[in-house]
Amino acid sequence: MECDGPRCELDKCQAGCTIGCDRGRTCQIGECTDGGCHVGPIGTRAEHSTLVIADCRGGDCSIECAAGDTCTIGACDGGGCIISCAEGATCNRKDAGCSVVTL
């Protein structure tokens, strides 16, 4: 899904879901159950976006966080959930099972 409205949200992603989040938007996947889910930027990055995976207990879900963005992953009981964090981005993990990787 490409998000060009003010807010885009998927309640649940079982496998292979992707949200491409345009500049200045809020994009969220509620629950990632089986992996392969991704939230990341599209378009030129001129404004701040908020990218979220609220519950990543299924593992292998990711957020690509560009400079100026704020990105968060919530529960990560299954491990394997990653935020790829660019310089100038704010990246938050709420659970020790999540990883933040600096780009």
Domain ranges in the chain?
2-102
The pLDDT assigned to 46 comes to 54
Q: Please list the rounded mean pLDDT of every run of 10 residues in the chain (103 residues).
A: 86 88 91 86 76 85 92 84 94 88 92
Burial class (CB within 10 angstroms; exposed 0-12, middle 13-18, buried 19+) of 39: buried
The pLDDT assigned to 28 comes to 95
Count the helices and strands in the chain (H runs, E runs). 0, 11
Quote the Cα angle for 1-63-40, to 5°.
40
12: amino acid identity, one letter: K
